[in-house]
A = this chain, B = another copy of it.
Amino acid sequence: MIIRVFCAITLMLSANLLHARGTGDLGIVIERASGSMQIIETTGNSSLGRIEGLGDLSHASAVYSRDEQFVYIFGRDGGLSKIDLLDKKLVKRVMQAGNSIGGAISQDGTLVAVSNYTPGGVKIFDAGTMQLVADIPASYGDSTLQSKVIGLVDAPGQKFVFSLWDAGEIWVADLADRSNPVITKFKNIGSNPYDALITPDGRYYIAGLFGEDGMALLDLWNLDSGVKRILNHYGKGEQKLPVYKMPHLEGWAIAGRYTFVPAVGHHEVLVIDTQTWKEKCRIEVHGQPVFVMARPDGRHVWVNFAVPDNNTLQVIDTQSLSIIKTLTPGKGVLHMEFEPRGEQVWVSVRDEDRVAVFDTSNFRQITTLPARKPSGIFFTSRAHKTGL
């Protein structure tokens, strides 16, 4: 009996000891086809476990609690899942809409917001209990119409900013009083905003337009100035090439005063001066860029591509504005995530069922880990950043 008790103790203690660890070097890899994700760590580059039963994870994204213990996954099927990274368990799953497209966590970490296609609008949940806190329908026109919502981001001051695809509007929701969201609406911002980003400082919100060229810029420090049109030539334009995939705007890389932007349809990365929001030049690349991401120190920018070139990565030097390296990690390079101080980068190689880790100083592959059709990779360091 005593021996049995001791065995039980030993098991319980070792299980629990495993849980007690720092969470600053954790991350997740979305396995899109199987509705699962892996928890990984970036100090030894290993997998710590798999969570299943997360529904349709195509185009899934994630945000982290401010203590970096919990991750919230936004699934395509309207499912919002909260996972404990230490216990490696699904804490709660809420089916909050029929079809959704990403979300955000408030500056103070108490609110999680989800943007929905069907029935549209934004729902806001308590990050602790996962109870619904606010339901913001995206009504427009005569108020009987409901819009799809895209490009939802958090902004300083307990704000969420998002765009209405059908309405051509940008809304700023102030949740300082969570029981009474205050909405500021900007109308006629352009036709069919399809994605948006917020600059890393949380100041500028920029929406891409599917229905016309150019982008809509909102300066959140000067809301009274309203939405301005920038980059009038940005978009499908003369459309010399078919567009295989609209680029991800969240992938914009800001390095020094320049931002590096994927062109739509063209084999080019655009360099934009963030002081004037005008184009400085274009860099020819291997294919149609999807993600254009700066290494955290801003010295290099890494680019992946749409089919048929999605086996390749290219690295741009931000001083010379030239390509200094072309890598072919494998078939189906979908996403990249830099370790917070930039020494390594993780790359999803979907069609080869693995993630590859590269040393960013010499471009050598350090290791590769098995994963089922991996797509998005998200590290806990995002908890400390605005708009991620």
Contact = CB atoms under 8 A, between A and B. Distances in A.
A384 B24 contact: yes
Contacts of A41: 67
Given A6-B5, A342-B107, A386 B22 contact: no
A312 interface: no
Given A6-B5, A9-B9, A66 B16 contact: no
A1 to B, nearest CB: 7
* This chain's copy number in the assembly: 2
A357 to B, nearest CB: 13
Interface string A51-69: 0000000000000111111
Interface in A1-56: 1-2, 5-6, 9, 12-13, 16-17, 19-26, 41-43
Given A297-B203, A343-B108, A43 B66 contact: yes
Nearest to A222: B319
A156 B341 contact: yes
A257 interface: yes
Interface in A317-362: 319, 340-343, 361
A138 interface: no
A276 interface: no
Interface string A156-186: 1110000000000000000010000000000
A375 interface: no
A119 interface: no
Interface SS of chain A: helix, strand, loop or mixed?
loop
A47 to B, nearest CB: 16
Nearest to A294: B201
Contacts of A1: 2
Given A297-B203, A386-B341, A65 B22 contact: yes
A201 B22 CA distance: 25
Contact of A24 (B12, B23, B361): B23
A252 B345 CA distance: 29
A291 interface: no
A361 B108 CA distance: 12
Interface string A97-126: 000000000011100000000000000000
B43 A67 contact: yes
A333 to B, nearest CB: 24
Nearest to A157: B361
A255 B201 CA distance: 9
Interface in A284-306: 296-299
Contacts of A107: 341-343
A67 B297 contact: no
Contact of A20 (B6, B20, B297, B342): B20
A228 interface: no
A310 interface: no
Interface string A206-234: 00000000000000010000000000000
Nearest to A381: B384
Given A16-B17, A108-B341, A297-B386, 13 more contacts: A2-B2, A9-B9, A22-B65, A22-B67, A25-B67, A68-B68, A107-B341, A107-B343, A156-B297, A156-B299, A201-B255, A257-B275, A381-B384
26 contacts: A12-B13, A13-B13, A19-B20, A20-B86, A21-B86, A22-B65, A22-B86, A23-B67, A24-B64, A24-B65, A24-B66, A24-B69, A107-B341, A107-B343, A108-B343, A156-B341, A158-B343, A176-B361, A201-B296, A203-B299, A257-B275, A340-B384, A340-B385, A341-B384, A342-B386, A384-B384
